[in-house]
Amino acid sequence: MTSMLRQQVNRLPTPVRAALLRLLADDLTSDQLHDQPPMDDKTLQDALVSLGEQPEVRPRVVVTGLGALTPLGHSAPASWEAMVAGRSGVGRVTQFDASAYPCQIAAEIKDFDPIAAGVPAKDARRMARCSQITLAAGAEALRDANIQWDDEQAARVGVCMGTGLGGFDIAENLIRQLITHGPGRMKPHMVTAALPNMPAFHLSQTFNCKGPLATVVTACAAGTQAIGEAMEMIRRGAADVMLAGGVEALIGHIFFSGFTAMRAISLRNDEPERASRPFDIQRDGFVIGEGVGIMVLERLEHALERGARIYAEVLGQSASADAYHVAAPQPEGAGAARAMAAALADAGLSPRDVDYINAHGTSTPIGDPTETRAIKQVFGEHAYDLAISSTKSMIGHTFGAAGAIEFMACVYSVVNNLIHPTINLERPDPLCDLDYVPNVARLRPVRVAMSNSFGLGGQNACLVVGKYAA
- Model confidence at 33: pLDDT above 70: no
**Would you kindly state where each structural domain of the chain is located, as residue ranges?**
2-50, 61-305, 315-466
- Model confidence at 434: pLDDT above 90: yes
- Model confidence at 309: pLDDT above 70: yes
Segment 296-322 shows an average pLDDT of: 98
Judge residue 42's burial from the number of C-beta atoms within 10 Å of its C-beta, 0-12 exposed, 13-18 middle, 19 or more buried.
exposed
Distance CA 323, CA 164 (A): 19
- Model confidence at 231: pLDDT above 80: yes
Q: Where do the DSSP E strands lie in 322-447?
A: 356-358, 387-389, 418-419, 442-443
Active site residue 34: no
Active site residue 397: yes
Which residue in the list 74, 202, 302, 397 is annotated as catalytic? 397
- Model confidence at 31: pLDDT above 50: no
For 180-214, the pLDDT digits (tens) are 877 766 677 778 888 999 999 999 999 999 999 99
Distance CA 95, CA 90 (A): 13
- Model confidence at 38: pLDDT above 60: no
User: Which pLDDT score, from 0 to 100, does residue 56 have?
Assistant: 65
CA nearest to 258, candidates 398, 369, 395, 102: 102
Q: What is the mean pLDDT of the chain?
A: 90
Fold match flag (61-305 vs 315-466): yes
Distance CA 63, CA 70 (A): 20
Active site residue 382: no
- Model confidence at 18: pLDDT above 60: no
Which residue in the list 360, 410, 420, 462 is annotated as catalytic? 360
Classify 228 as helix, strand or coil.
helix
For 338-381, the pLDDT digits (tens) are 999 999 999 999 999 999 999 999 999 999 999 999 999 999 99
Which residue in the list 130, 160, 209, 220 is annotated as catalytic? 220
Tell me what percent of the residues of the chain surpass a pLDDT of 70: 87
Residue 459: alpha-carbon gap to chain centroid: 13
CA nearest to 460, candidates 196, 217, 197, 218: 218
User: Which pLDDT score, from 0 to 100, does residue 436 have?
Assistant: 98
- Model confidence at 439: pLDDT above 50: yes
User: Which pLDDT score, from 0 to 100, does residue 234 have?
Assistant: 98
* Homologous superfamily of 61-305: Thiolase/Chalcone synthase (3.40.47.10)
Segment 59-73 shows an average pLDDT of: 98
Using CA atoms of 224, 323, 360, 445 in order, give the dihedral in degrees to the nearest 10.
-70
Q: Do the bridges between strand 356-358 and strand 448-455 make them parallel or antiparallel, or are there none, so unpaired?
A: parallel
CATH number attached to the domain at 315-466: 3.40.47.10
